[in-house]
Chain A
Amino acid sequence: MNRLSWFNTVSLTLGFAFLYIPMLILVIYSFNASKLVTVWAGFSTRWYGELLHNEAFLDAAWVTLKVAVFSSSIATVLGTMAAYVLVRGSRFPGRTLFSGMIYAPLVMPEVITGLSLLLLFIGIGLDRGVLTIVLAHTTFSMCYVSVVVSSRLISFDKSLEEAALDLGCSPAQAFRLVTLPIIAPAVISGWLLAFTLSLDDLVIASFTAGPSATTLPIKIFSSIRLGVSPEINALSTVMIAIVAVGVIAASLVSKRSLVRQKKDEQAAERAQ
């Protein structure tokens, strides 16, 4: 192993400190025994216990989870379909316009997306609740899915699909039996991305949520306006832990399969 030069060590430390110190402080204070957030009074897991008895938070967490699962699933289906047509479809008039438009929501200010959705829901007389949040989240996260899936499709050897057709598949069968299994990792990571985006979202949810349904980010944001409580710190730590475990697991799985495949290929060439 090469040792890092002092310059690289310093830049690495600075960079990571910048990224992680705020979160580290939050995590440390979540184990604070004191009710005052900024005063340290010894280690305690008391706020985690209280969290379990806070009905309002638990309700909001349940709503958030439902919204995230439904919206990311719908967004994955729609986003994959859009990516497939844009990458694979033959040239149809306005194709360039469509592929530009599918990425537009990525750069659109969330406030505008939220507001326009709110106006739409009022216009068609849809009561705001879980359904409207799901629809709103699907709208903005499907373009992320289509970005991830289309980058996989571009590097996908088209002759695999042609081979499937050649061997007697209808185009739909070719997609189901060949294309989908091969692009599955990209579809899954698109789903994960959509899921996290939905979990995080505050702005769009606050436009489209109704009195009957509140998501966790909205709940946290509104309780902070009444003052930061150690309970919020505990809740945030739990969320950080969930996200971290998910990300690490996903990267481990993909890295392991890559390493195994490399090994197999080398073994096959040697055995020849």
Chain B
Amino acid sequence: MQSTIFAPWEDPEAKPLIRFQNVTKRFGTFTAIDDLSLDIYEKEFFALLGPSGCGKTTMMRMLGGFENPTEGRIELAGKDISGVPPNKRAVNMMFQSYALFPHLSVWDNIAFGLRRDGRPKDEVAARVAEMLKLTRLEKFGRRKPHQISGGQRQRVALARSLAKAPKLLLLDEPMGALDKKLRQDTQFELMDIQEKTGTTFVIVTHDQEEAMTVASRVAVMDEGKLIQVATPDRIYESPENVYVADFIGDVNIIEGRATLEGEETYRIDWAEGEAPLRATSSTRLDNGQSCFLAIRPEKVTISPERPEGAVNAVHGKVLDIAYLGNISTYHVELASGTVIKAQAANTRRISRRSFTWEDPVWLSWTVTGGVLLAG
């Protein structure tokens, strides 16, 4: 696994490529970034994830040099870069709109940055050819941007921003304009290119699936603050709070009160008439403290009978079924009125499905199936 080999953020000796130190950015009275500190390491594929207006684009624009922090410092390879204009930074950016120069051919677009450095002609030509090959655009060098398709334009933008071999490449919603199928292909292509070139990538996206697919680490942002920075699996499996749990993927959130029962095991009293639930947590909760239990639908098992020995089991009836082809999501209403989602793989054909609307069913999950979060 990549995460076991490549994890510079766990190495206290490792020097970060980018360091945000107590950075605050205000636009008038609006605070876009609020006292934020973050380290990003070389060769990382780092994703800034959050809803629109959370400050992720402002972070990227500060790295690109289009905005300067109001307070704090931003370091690139140990040097403070606040105040350095974009044309003097070893950072390149791939814009959301691609920003291809419409009056220049694909070839000239890619050569644009190299020519500004005053490199000799044959060197420019060699580098452009290399970039065209990397992005599989060899046949399109002479075309103008409006003469190629959306996916090809996206690759031209990538080739252009990589041509100068920057220390850091910024990608602003790079796949926002592509349709779903093309987006998935492009994500793998992007990871491939990142690995081949060894460039550090910072990607801004609001698409959590995309962030999880491509990134080595994901930073979940909200209202100018970092909520959690971790690897995709940790973000998904052990979110630190309800915001992250709710933002990433589908989740059932049950509110209740926790009581310590044994070694790291808590009893959760949650709704009248429902049996208490049990879950483990390594962080300490006080007796009677309000808490949230977050359970992913795929960790909930659906069955006609109460499974023997199940720690957590609740009874209800099927309210709705969302058929997604490979899986189905069952919405099950409990006696207390709470709706819990459970996911099951469709290993049989739909005509032989075991449950249908209004069927009484049991939902169960293990003691470690949910994540217990302090309220």
Q: Which residues of A are in contact with B by a Cβ distance under 8 Å?
A: 157, 159-160, 162-170, 173, 177-178, 181-182, 261, 264-265, 267-269, 271-272
A214–chain B nearest beta-carbon distance, Å: 42
Please count the residue pairs between chain A and chain B whose beta carbons lie under 8 angstroms apart in the complex.
75
Min CB gap A268→B, angstroms: 5
Q: Is the CB of B87 within 8 A of A170?
A: yes
State whether A168 touches B117 (Cβ < 8 A): yes
Contact B149 A166 (CB under 8 A): no
What are 19 inter-chain pairs, A to B, with CB distance below 8 A?
Answer: A159-B95, A159-B97, A162-B86, A162-B93, A164-B101, A165-B65, A166-B87, A166-B91, A167-B112, A167-B164, A169-B87, A169-B116, A173-B116, A182-B101, A182-B103, A265-B146, A269-B150, A272-B150, A272-B151
Is B103 touching A168 in the complex (CB atoms < 8 A)?
no
Known: A157-B99, A261-B146, A269-B149. A162 touches B66 (CB 8 A): yes
Q: Which residues of B lie under 8 Å from residue A265 when comparing CB positions? A: 146-147
A166 touches B93 (CB 8 A): yes
A29–B146 Cα gap in the complex (Å)? 50
Give the chain A neighbours of B375 by CB distance below 8 A: none
Top-9 shortest CB links A-B: A167-B113, A168-B116, A272-B149, A163-B99, A159-B99, A165-B86, A264-B147, A181-B103, A159-B95
List the A side residues contacting B150 at CB < 8 Å: 269, 272
Question: What mask results when residues 344 to 362 of chain B are scored 1 for a CB within 8 Å of chain A, else 0?
Answer: 0000000000000000000
A-contact bits for B91-108, CB 8 A (1 contact / 0 none): 111011101011100000
Establish whether residues A182 and B102, one from each chain, have CB atoms under 8 Å apart when the complex forms.
yes
Interface residues of B in 133-156 (CB under 8 A from A): 144, 146-152
- Contact at B97–A166, with CB atoms within 8 Å? no
B78 at interface by CB-CB < 8 Å: no
Q: Is the CB of B92 within 8 A of A160?
A: no
- Most B CB within 10 A of own CB, among A165, A173, A261, A269: A165
- Which single member of B97, B113, B149 contacts A268 (CB below 8 Å)? B149
Q: How far is the CB of A34 from chain B (nearest CB, A)?
A: 55
A contact residues around B149 at 8 Å (CB): 268-269, 271-272
When distances are taken between beta carbons in the complex, the residues of chain A under 8 Å from B99 are 157, 159-160, 162-163
Q: State whether the Cβ of B316 lies closer than 8 Å to any Cβ in chain A.
A: no
Set of chain B residues within 8 Å of A267, measured between Cβ atoms:
147
Interface positions of B from 70 to 103, Cβ below 8 Å from A: 85-87, 91-93, 95-97, 99, 101-103
Whether, in the assembled complex, B257 has its beta carbon less than 8 Å from a beta carbon of chain A, the answer is no
The docked-state distance in angstroms from the alpha carbon of A177 to that of B92 is 18
A181 and B112 alpha carbons, distance in the complex (Å): 14
Chain B residues near A178 (CB, 8 Å)? Answer: 101
What residues of chain A lie closer than 8 Å to B113, measured between beta carbons?
167-168
In the bound complex, how far is the Cα of B86 from the Cα of A244, in angstroms?
Answer: 47
Beyond the given A166-B86, A167-B160, A268-B146, please list 4 additional residue pairs across the A-B interface where CB-CB is below 8 A.
A166-B92, A167-B164, A173-B116, A272-B149
- In the assembled complex, how far is the CB of residue A155 from the closest CB belonging to chain B, in whole angstroms? 13
Considering the chains assembled together, what is the distance between the CA atoms of A261 and B144 in angstroms? Answer: 10
B69, CB-defined interface residue at 8 Å: no
Tell me the complex Cα distance, A125–B88, Å: 50
Interface residue? B64 (CB, 8 A): yes
Residues of B within 8 A of A166 (CB): 64-65, 86-87, 91-93, 161
Q: B96 to chain A: which residues have CB within 8 Å? A: 159
Q: Are B87 and A168 in contact (CB under 8 A)?
A: yes
Distance in angstroms between the alpha carbons of A97 and B134 in the assembled complex: 52
Which residues on B sit within 8 Å (CB–CB) of A264? 144, 146-147
Question: B151 and A167: CB pair below 8 A?
Answer: no
Which interface residue of A166, A168, A264 has the most chain B CB atoms within 10 A? A166
Complexed CA–CA distance, A157 and B99 (Å): 8
| Chain B, Cβ-Cβ closest to A161 | B99
B27 CB to nearest chain A CB (Å)? 12
Q: A167 — which chain B residues lie within 8 A by C-beta?
A: 87, 92, 112-113, 116, 160, 164
B-chain residues with CB within 8 Å of residue A271 when the two chains form the complex: 149
CA distance A168 to B161 in the complex (A): 11
Tell me the complex Cα distance, A81–B97, Å: 26
Q: CB distance B144 to A157 under 8 Å?
A: no
User: A residues within 8 A CB of B93?
Assistant: 162-163, 166
Which A residues are in CB contact (< 8 Å) with B146? 261, 264-265, 268
Cβ-defined partner of B95 (8 Å) among A163, A173, A268, A269 = A163
CA distance A168 to B84 in the complex (A): 12
**Residues B182-216 near A (CB distance < 8 A):** none
A256 smallest CB distance to B (angstroms): 15
Contacts of B161 in A (CB 8 A): 166
A166 to chain B minimum Cβ distance, whole angstroms, is 5
Contacts of A157 in B (CB 8 A): 97, 99
Contacts of B97 in A (CB 8 A): 157, 159
Chain A residues near B160 (CB, 8 Å)? 163, 167
Q: B85 to A165, Cβ gap below 8 A? A: yes
Q: Is the CB of B164 within 8 A of A168?
A: yes
Taken together as a complex, chains A and B put the C-alpha atoms of A130 and B349 apart, in Å, by 90
Q: Which residues of B contact A272 (CB under 8 A)?
A: 149-152
A160, B87: Cβ atoms closer than 8 Å? no
Chain A nearest CB from B148 CB (Å) reads 5
Q: How far is A162 from B113 in the complex, measured between Cα atoms in Å?
A: 12
CB distance from B154 to the nearest CB of A (A): 12
Q: Which chain B residues lie closer than 8 Å to A261 at the CB level?
A: 146
Complexed CA–CA distance, A173 and B65 (Å): 17
Alpha-carbon separation in the docked complex, A271 to B150 (Å): 11
> How long is the Cα–Cα vector from A173 to B113 in the complex, in angstroms?
12
Q: What separation, in Å, do the CA atoms of A240 and B129 have in the docked complex?
A: 53
Q: How far is the CA of A160 from the CA of B109 in the complex (A)?
A: 11
Residue of A nearest to B95 (CB): A159
